[in-house]
Structure 1
Amino acid sequence: MNTQLPQTRDLVLVGGGHTHALVLRSWAMKPLPGVRLTVINPGPTAPYSGMLPGFVAGHYTRDELDIDLVQLGRFAGARVILGAVDHIDVAAKTISVPGRPPIAYDLTAVDVGITSTMPSLKGFTDHAIPAKPLGVFASRWDAFRATAKNPHIAIIGGGVAGAELAMAMAHALRRDGSDAAVVQLVDRGSVLKDLGSVAKGKVLAALETQGVTLIENADVAEIAAHDVILTDGTLIKSDFTTGAAGAKPHDWVAGLDLDIHEGFITVNDKLQSSNPDVFAVGDCAHLSFDPRPKAGVYAVREAPVLFDNLQAHLSGRDLRAYKPQKDYLKLISLGGKSALAEKFGTARQGPLLWKLKNHIDRTFMNQFDGLSTMALPDLPETIALGVRETLGDKPMCGGCGSKVGRGALRNVLSDLPRAQRDDIQSVAGDDAAILQTGGATQVISTDHLRAMIDDPVMMTRIAAVHALGDIWAMGAQPQAATATIILPRTSEILQERALAEIMATAHDVFTDAGAAIVGGHTSQGDALTIGFTVTGLVDGQPITLKGAKKGDALIITKPIGSGVIMAAEMQCKAAGADVAATLQQMVQGQADAAAVLKDAHAMTDVTGFGLAGHLAGICEASGVGAEVTLTDVPLMQGARTLAESGQQSSLFDSNKAGVAGVECTKSALSDLMFDPQTAGGLLAAVDPSQAADVIAKLKQAGYPAAQIGTITDQVGRIILRD
C-alpha cells in the first residue's frame, strides 16, 4: 500500500543564500509532510561569502567556495529551479522567472543577498564587475587571473570588503609571478572608516605589506575599458575593475509591494514581511525591530528560526522570535594565511587567527558535503525469489533510464504480425510509423518520460524535445501533439498549478517547432510522468534506419552522457554545474539539425538504448557494420569522470546485453556508448564527401556536432576503437 501523504502546500525559497542553504539541510532532516518545497536560484551553486577572500587569494578552489544547490535540493527533496527571479506578485501569490510560467506559492521566503553593482556610474556595467553577487565575480576573477601578466587592478570602495579583496588579489598575483602587478583601493573618502582605530591601524599596515596602493578622497566619474576616470580628470590604469562599495538591494526587491526600508524588505522579529506569507532573511532583509549591519553571521543565526517559523506557518502553529546578538567576532583576511580579529573594540592578528577563520568556514561548508544518497526501499524478511536481483543495487532512474531495455522490446515487437494495411509503411525499429493519408506522407510516434527532476517546466521541455526527436529523425516537419500527463497525488490546487506550468510550456515548445497541442489526457500516479504523441508531415521520402552505405560518415549532433549524470544526480553525486549543463543539452531542439541533415542516407535519434544500441538499429536495418573512434564521441560535462568512478544508469546492463556484435575494450568511454540518453542528438549516416560541410553547418547552427566513425560492410559488426 502506498502510504505517501499527498502534498497540499507550496513553499518556495527564493535565492540560495546562507540561511536558505541551512534551511534546506534542516528540511532534509525533518521535512514537513504535505509540503512541496521549491528553491529558485540563478545558478546551480551558491558561493559562501566567508571564503571569498581566501578563494581570491588562491587558498581555496572554486569547488570549496561553492554550496552545490542541486545536490542540496535533491537531499532535501526540493524542486530546484535554475533562474533569476525578477518579481513577486504578493497579491496573486506568484513568482516571476523570465522564460517560464509564473510559479505559485502558499508561502515564500526571500534570501537573495545584495549587489555592489553601480549602474549609475558611467561605464560600470560595460567595463567593471561588482563584487556581489559573488558567483559572477568569482568566475570573472578566475578567468582573469589565469591569463593576467602584471596587471593593474582597481577596487572601488574602501570598506572592509574592498580591503580584503585588495589584499587577496595582491597576494594571489604576486604568488602567480606577477611581481609588477598594481592593486589600487579607491574610495571617495578615507578607507576603513567603519573599523575601530586599533583594527584600522592593523589593516592599513597589512595593506601596505601587500603592496596595495590607497587612493583616497577620489570621486569616480567613469569606468573605461582600461582606466578608472576621476572627476578631476585623473586616469587610474585598470585592467580589472571591481566595485565593493557598500550594500545595495536588488532593484526588483526594492520594487515589491511590501514595506521597504531603503530598498530592503522590512521584517519583524518573526522574520515576516508586511505580508505574513512572505518572509525575508539575510542581507536583503531589514530587521526593523533591531537593525543590524549586513553580515553573514546574522544570516547563519536566522536559519533555525526561519526553519521553525516556515514549518509553523504551514502547519498552523505559533511562530518564534529571532533575537540577533549585539556584537560578533569580525575575522578579516589579510591576503596571506593571516587574519585579524576584532570584537568590542579590541583587535589581534596573525596566522593562528587565520587557522581559526579557516576552521569556522570549513566547518560551515562541511555541513553540505557527503549528502546521503537516495535509499532503496526496505525489504520484508520473506520475499519472492528474484526480488533482490530485479531491484538491483540502485534506485530506478528517471527519463530514459527508467525504460525497458532494447532486447525485451525488440523481442516482443518481432513476435507481432506485420501490419496488413497498405497505408502503413515502416521499417522495423524505425523511430516513427509512416502513414499515407489522403496523398500525404505522415509520421507518428509516441514517447513519455518518468520525471528525473521535479521541476515540471524543465521536465516538460525535455519530454517535448525527446518526443519531437522521432519526428525530426525522419526528416519530417512536426504537425500536432497530444499530451499524456501522470501527476503525483497532491491537492487539487497543486495539481492545477503543475498542470498549468506543464501545458503552457508544452504549448511554447511545440509552437516553436511548428506544431500544435490538440489535446491530452491526465491521471494520477506515484511519480510525475510526461509524454506526447506527435505527428509530422514529410515532403518526399522520410529518412529511415535503412539506407546507410559503406563509407558513410557517422555524425552525431549532441554529446552523450545524460544517463550517467542524472543517475548520479539522484544519489547526490553529480556536480550541480554538470547537471545544469546536461539539462541545457537536453532541451536543445533538433529542428535546425534535421534541416542540415535532410540528405542523410539513414538517421535516428539517440535516446534510451544508448549510442551503441541506436547505431546497431541502423546497422541491422541497413545490412551494414560500423567503426567508432571513442575519443571522437562528444561527451557531456562531467560524464567521463562519473563513468570512471563506476556510476551507471539503471538501464545500462540491459542496454549492453541488448546489442550483439559490439567489439570493444572495457573502459569508461566504451561504457558510455551504452548509456541511455534522454532527448539526445541525431545520429546520421552521411555521404563522406559532404561530412565536413555538414559538420560545419551544424556547428554554425549551435550544435556540438562531430564525426564519430564510419559505416563498414561487415554486417552487424560494430567496432569501438579507443
Structure 2
Amino acid sequence: MQGRPPVPLTRDLVLVGGGHAHALVLRMWGMDPLPGTRVTVINPGPTAPYSGMLPGFVAGHYRRDDLDIDLVRLARFAGARVVLGQCEGIDPAARLIHVPGRPPIGYDLCSVNVGITSTMPALPGFAEHAVPAKPLGPFASRWSAYLAAEGPARVAVIGGGVAGAELILAMAHALKARGRPAELVLVERARALSALGRAAAGPLRAALAAHGVTIREGVEIAAIGPDGLRLADGTRIAADFITGAAGARPYDWIADTGLRLHDGFIAVDEYLQSSDPAIFAAGDCAHLSAAPRPKAGVYAVREAPVLLANLRTRLSETGPLRRYRPQKDYLKLISLGGQSALGEKWGLPFSGPAIWRWKNRIDQRFMDRFRALPAMAPPAPPALRTAGAEELPQKPMCGGCGAKVGRGALRAALAGLPGGLRRDVTPLPGDDAALLHIGGQRQVLTTDHLRAFTEDPVTMTRIAAVHALGDIWAMGATPQAATVTLILPRMSPALQRRSLSEIMTAADAVLRAAGAEIAGGHSSMGEEMTIGFTLTGLLNRAPITLAGGRPGDALVLTKPIGTGVLMAAEMQGAARGAWIAAAFDRMTKPQGDAAQVLANAHAMTDVTGFGLAGHLLNICEASGLAATLELTAVPLLEGALELSRAGHRSTLYDDNKALLPDLPDDPLSALLFDPQTAGGLLAAIPAAEAAETVAALQRAGYAAARIGALSAGPPGIHLT
C-alpha cells in the first residue's frame, strides 16, 4: 500500500525580516508545520543579531558569533526558503515584495518584523562620518577595528536613552580593558534617560559618571564632521568614533506601502494585523494601536506565539484570531559596562553583579532556543524490506551534483552504445559535451540538471544555469541557445505561476548575460524541484578538450572547492548560514570571463560531480599524463575543511574516492573527492603563463590558484 502523498502547496507565507518574533515563529513552525504552506523568510544576511547581547559584545564579554541567530539553519529546520536581500518595498495591491537583484516575491499572507534603524539621514555628515548602531553587522566591524587601534580614544554616542547609555558604558569598559585613555560623550537633544523612573535614572547616571562619560543633554547637533560634532550653538565635541542610538526610526520603504501608519510605523490592531488583512507586523516596526507600548525586544518575543496562531488561522481559514495583550510594564535589565547590571520594574531599581548574571542567563536561554534546535525524528523504516536495502546509505540524499550517479556506472552505460551513426557528430570521450558540425560551423551541445538543495528557486536556478554553462565555457565555446527542463513540487496553479515566473526570469538573466537565449522548455510536477538546461554553444576554433594536456603544463583552478560537504552538512543543520551564503555566492558566479582568460588552455574541464580529483583524472587519462597536486594550494570554501574534519561527506563521496583508492582520505585530501556544483574551471596551461593568468583571473574576481602540474608518466594523481 502506497504512503499518503504530500499535501500540495497552495499558499505562500512570506516573513519579511528575521527579527525576534519571526525567528521564534520559524522555530515553532519547524516543530509543527502547516501542510500546504510554502514559507519564505527575507533578510539582508544569513544571520539576525539578538540586540539584548549587543552591549555585552561591545564590552568584550561575548564573541561576535554569540549574538547571531542563524537564519539559514533555522529556515532549514522550518522547511522554509531564505531570500538574502534587503526588502525595499511591499505592493499590497499586487501582493508582491520587492528585493533588489531578483524577481518580485508573491505572497498570500505576509508578516513584517524588520525592526528599526538608527541611521540619521537628516543630520548633515552622519552618513559620511558616523556609523549607526543598527544594523549590527557594519557597526560591529567598525567598532572592532576602532577598538584594536592604539592611542587615546574619543567617542560620541548620539541618543541619551537607555540604549545609548548601555552602549557608551560598554565602550568605556572595553577601551579601559585595552588600556586606551578615552573621552566619552553622550549627546541628547532632550533630557537623558527620560524613559526610566527617577529612582533608576539616578544609579545609571552615577555609573556613567564613574566610567568618565560626559552627558550633554538639551543640545542640538548641527552637523558631524571628520573630527567630531558641531552643536547648534557653535560648540564642538571632538570625536573620532561616532555612533547613533537615538530612538526608533522606521525604514523608509514602509511609508510607500499604503498601509495605515503611526509616526511611520505599521499600525496593527490587537491581532497584530495591519490595515491590509493580508499583512501582519510585529516587533519594533509595528505600532500597537490598541495598547501602545515603547520599543522593546520583550514585546516581539511575547508577540511570537500570537503571531504564529493568527498566521496559521488565516492560512487554514479556520477559527477566530487570537488577541495579543501586552503587559503594562516589563523588566528592564541594563548592562553597566562590566559584568554588572541595573534592573528596573514598576519604578523600582536594583543592581549588582548578580543582576548581570541574571540578565546573562535570560539572554543565553533565549539564544539556546536557536543554537540547539530540537531533533525531529525521521519516519521509521519499514519492518520488512527487500534483502540488501539495509546495506545502502540511509542518510538523506544530497542535492546538486551530490545526487548524481558515479563516474564508473555512467561510463559503463555509455560504453555499450554503438555510436558511429552520423559523421556530423563527434563524440569527445570523457567530455560532457558533444561537438556538432553544421556546414562549416562547429557547435557544442550539452545538457545538465540539478536536484534542488535550496528552497529558493531563484538561487537554485542561477546555480543550475551557471553549472550547465560550465561545459560550454570549458570547451572554449560561446553560449548560444538554451531549453529549460523543470520539475516543480506539487502546487496550486497560482503557486506554479509564481514559481515559473521567478525561475524563468532568473534563468533568462543568467543566460542572456552569457550570450545565450532561451528557446523553450518543458515542465512537469514531481516530488521535489529539479532544474535543468540543454545548451548549445558556437566555436570559431578547435574545441578545448580533456586530451590536450602537455607535460610541464601548470594546473589552474578558478573557484574554491567544498560545495558538496557544505550542502551535505547544511541538510543536517551542521553548517553555519554564513558559510552557505558564501558558497551560494561562489556557485552563482558565472565563468564566462574566466573562460576568456583561459582561452589558450591546452586542456580544460569544469569541476563538478566527480570532484577535483575525478575531473583531473579525466584530463590525465585523455592526455596520457600524470598529475601532481599541491594539496595546500587548492582553494577551499569557508567551512569546508572544518566540516570535513567533523566527518561530513556527500553521498557521492564513496564513488568518487573509489576512482583513486591509493590517495589518502584525511579531512583535507577528502575534499578532492567532494562533488562540486557549479564548480570552477580546471585548466592545463603553459607554465610560463601561469603567474599572469592567475593574476588576471584574480583581478576578474575569481579565487583562482595554481594547484599543480602535468608530467610524463602513467595517468594518475600524486599529492605533495
Sort the TM-score into its range (normalised by shorter chain): over 0.9
User: Who is 2:350 aligned against?
Assistant: 348
2:40 is the alignment partner of 1:38: yes
Counterparts of 1:619 and 1:344, CA distance in 2? 76
Structure 1 residues 175-190: aligned runs within 5 Å: 175-178=177-180, 180-190=181-191
Contact 1:553/1:686 (<8 A) preserved = yes
Counterparts of 2:339 and 2:457, CA distance in 1? 46
Deviates more, 1:502-511 or 1:664-673: 664-673
Q: CA deviation at 1:376?
A: 5.2
User: Who is 1:386 aligned against?
Assistant: 388
Counterparts of 1:198 and 1:264, CA distance in 2? 31
User: Who is 1:20 aligned against?
Assistant: 22
Contact 1:405/1:609 (<8 A) preserved = yes
Counterparts of 1:283 and 1:275, CA distance in 2? 19
Amino acid at match of 2:332: K
Q: CA deviation at 1:663?
A: 4.7
Structure 1 residues 572-651: aligned runs within 5 Å: 572-651=573-652
Contact 2:31/2:376 (<8 A) preserved = no
Residue-by-residue CA offset, 1:621-664 (whole Å, 9 max, x unaligned): 0000111111100000111111111111111111111x23x654
Q: CA deviation at 1:372?
A: 4.7
Counterparts of 1:566 and 1:373, CA distance in 2? 19
Check 1:393–1:181 CA distance in 2 against 1; reply closer, same or farther (3 A cut).
Answer: farther
Contact 2:664/2:670 (<8 A) preserved = no
Amino acid at match of 1:693: E
Counterparts of 1:149 and 1:375, CA distance in 2? 56
User: Who is 1:60 aligned against?
Assistant: 62
Q: Which runs of 5+ in 2 are unaligned?
A: none
Contact 1:397/1:452 (<8 A) preserved = yes
Deviates more, 1:609-618 or 1:208-217: 208-217
User: Who is 1:362 aligned against?
Assistant: 364
Structure 1 residues 308-319: aligned runs within 5 Å: 308-317=309-318, 318-319=320-321
Counterparts of 2:377 and 2:634, CA distance in 1? 33
SS in 2 for 1:527: coil
Counterparts of 2:335 and 2:462, CA distance in 1? 45
Q: CA deviation at 1:378?
A: 2.3
Structure 1 residues 470-481: aligned runs within 5 Å: 470-481=471-482
Name the TM-score, length of structure 2 as normaliser: 0.98
Structure 1 residues 56-455: aligned runs within 5 Å: 56-147=58-149, 149-178=151-180, 180-317=181-318, 318-372=320-374, 377-390=379-392, 392-455=393-456
SS in 1 for 2:102: coil
Residue-by-residue CA offset, 1:360-389 (whole Å, 9 max, x unaligned): 111111111122568654211111122122
Contact 1:463/1:679 (<8 A) preserved = yes
Amino acid at match of 1:485: L
Residue-by-residue CA offset, 1:124-155 (whole Å, 9 max, x unaligned): 11221111223332233234333454322211
User: Who is 2:682 aligned against?
Assistant: 683
Q: CA deviation at 1:393?
A: 3.8
Residue-by-residue CA offset, 1:77-114 (whole Å, 9 max, x unaligned): 11111111111110111111111111110000000000
Counterparts of 1:130 and 1:44, CA distance in 2? 20
Q: CA deviation at 1:230?
A: 2.3
Q: CA deviation at 1:571?
A: 0.8
SS in 2 for 1:613: helix
Q: CA deviation at 1:181?
A: 2.7
Contact 1:431/1:473 (<8 A) preserved = no
Q: What's the C-alpha RMSD, in Å, of the aligned pairs?
A: 1.3
SS in 2 for 1:593: helix
Amino acid at match of 1:116: S
Counterparts of 2:335 and 2:346, CA distance in 1? 19
Counterparts of 2:52 and 2:40, CA distance in 1? 26
Check 1:373–1:414 CA distance in 2 against 1; reply closer, same or farther (3 A cut).
Answer: farther
Counterparts of 1:148 and 1:584, CA distance in 2? 35
Amino acid at match of 1:671: A
Contact 1:478/1:513 (<8 A) preserved = yes
Aligned length: 717
SS in 2 for 1:484: strand
2:38 is the alignment partner of 1:29: no
Q: CA deviation at 1:409?
A: 1.0
Counterparts of 2:712 and 2:129, CA distance in 1? 58
Check 1:374–1:418 CA distance in 2 against 1; reply closer, same or farther (3 A cut).
Answer: farther
Contact 1:373/1:571 (<8 A) preserved = no
Contact 2:58/2:170 (<8 A) preserved = yes
Contact 2:74/2:370 (<8 A) preserved = yes
Structure 1 residues 498-513: aligned runs within 5 Å: 498-513=499-514
SS in 2 for 1:546: helix
User: Who is 1:562 aligned against?
Assistant: 563
Residue-by-residue CA offset, 1:680-709 (whole Å, 9 max, x unaligned): 110000100000110111011110100001
SS in 1 for 2:425: coil
Check 1:481–1:373 CA distance in 2 against 1; reply closer, same or farther (3 A cut).
Answer: farther
Contact 2:259/2:274 (<8 A) preserved = yes
Amino acid at match of 1:170: A
Counterparts of 1:474 and 1:376, CA distance in 2? 44
Deviates more, 1:162-171 or 1:403-412: 403-412
Counterparts of 1:188 and 1:581, CA distance in 2? 42
Counterparts of 1:157 and 1:645, CA distance in 2? 46
Contact 1:663/1:718 (<8 A) preserved = no
SS in 1 for 2:437: strand
Deviates more, 1:365-374 or 1:376-385: 365-374
Counterparts of 1:519 and 1:248, CA distance in 2? 48
Counterparts of 2:703 and 2:235, CA distance in 1? 47
Residue-by-residue CA offset, 1:205-235 (whole Å, 9 max, x unaligned): 1112222232333322222233222233333
SS in 1 for 2:156: strand
Contact 2:634/2:705 (<8 A) preserved = yes
What percentage of aligned pairs have identical amino acids?
61
Counterparts of 1:675 and 1:510, CA distance in 2? 27
Amino acid at match of 2:200: A
Check 1:286–1:709 CA distance in 2 against 1; reply closer, same or farther (3 A cut).
Answer: same
Amino acid at match of 2:147: R
Q: CA deviation at 1:166?
A: 0.2
User: Who is 1:717 aligned against?
Assistant: 716
Check 1:623–1:277 CA distance in 2 against 1; reply closer, same or farther (3 A cut).
Answer: same
Residue-by-residue CA offset, 1:36-64 (whole Å, 9 max, x unaligned): 11111110000001111111111111121
Check 1:190–1:609 CA distance in 2 against 1; reply closer, same or farther (3 A cut).
Answer: same
SS in 1 for 2:486: strand
Counterparts of 1:418 and 1:429, CA distance in 2? 15
SS in 2 for 1:368: helix
2:697 is the alignment partner of 1:698: yes
SS in 2 for 1:242: strand
Check 1:246–1:688 CA distance in 2 against 1; reply closer, same or farther (3 A cut).
Answer: same
Counterparts of 1:663 and 1:633, CA distance in 2? 19
Contact 1:376/1:395 (<8 A) preserved = no
Contact 1:478/1:535 (<8 A) preserved = yes
Name the TM-score, length of structure 1 as normaliser: 0.97
Check 1:248–1:534 CA distance in 2 against 1; reply closer, same or farther (3 A cut).
Answer: same
